Structure 1
Amino acid sequence: MLPLRIANATRILAETQDEYYALAIKDEIIDGTNQMTSVWEPTPSELKMLNEGGAVRLTILGTGHPPVMITAQPAPGLSS
């Protein structure tokens, strides 16, 4: 997956860490809960795997697993 620039990004993570992708995130508080949202696009080979019934895999670096949420969003210009 390739990180995309999220609309109204509030900060860029790992911007100066060459070993990681720079990740634009949007910080929000929704229903009293802090959230950091990023947007990702599957590569052509990943999209092929997904269309063939594959799944999305989430990897957390480190030994503690934070709460996470994975969702989909419509393509630019399309509404959900």
Structure 2
Amino acid sequence: MQKIQHPSNNGVLGAPAGWDQANLPCGALPITRTQLSDLPAVVSYWRPSADELAVLDSGGAIALWVLGVTMPPVNLSVEGA
């Protein structure tokens, strides 16, 4: 999937402090700082490729990877054009 710009984007996240770019590159991520049910939230937008859409259409799944030893509260959704 490719990260994409969205009209609501109002910020950019970079690699965390001390990140080893040589070991695992981490580029800038356009984000939207917002709220969800009165809680602060950060949203990034992604678009699957044609190949990824074909995998999903044939029953494949989306995998959410979070580096570390636990998973923070997250949400996946589909947004219209």
TM (norm. structure 2) is 0.78
Distance in 1 between the 2:2 and 2:35 partners?
A: 25
Q: Does 1:23 align with 2:29?
A: yes
Native 8 Å contact 1:3 1:21 kept in 2 = no
Kindly report which structure 2 residues correspond to 1:1-80, keeping only aligned pairs within 5 A, or say none.
1-14=1-14, 19-74=25-80, 76=81
Letter in 2 for 1:30: L
Q: CA deviation at 1:51?
A: 1.2
Q: CA deviation at 1:52?
A: 1.1
Native 8 Å contact 1:26 1:37 kept in 2 = yes
The count of aligned residue pairs is 74
- Structure 1 unaligned regions, length at least 5: none
Q: CA deviation at 1:44?
A: 2.1
| Aligned residues with identical type, % of pairs | 27
Q: CA deviation at 1:3?
A: 0.3
CA RMSD of aligned residues (A): 1.8
Larger RCO (CA within 8 A; separation ≥ 6): 2
- Structure 2 unaligned regions, length at least 5: none
Q: Deviations over 1:14-69 (max 9, x none)?
A: 27x86123211101123320110111001222111011111111000112210000
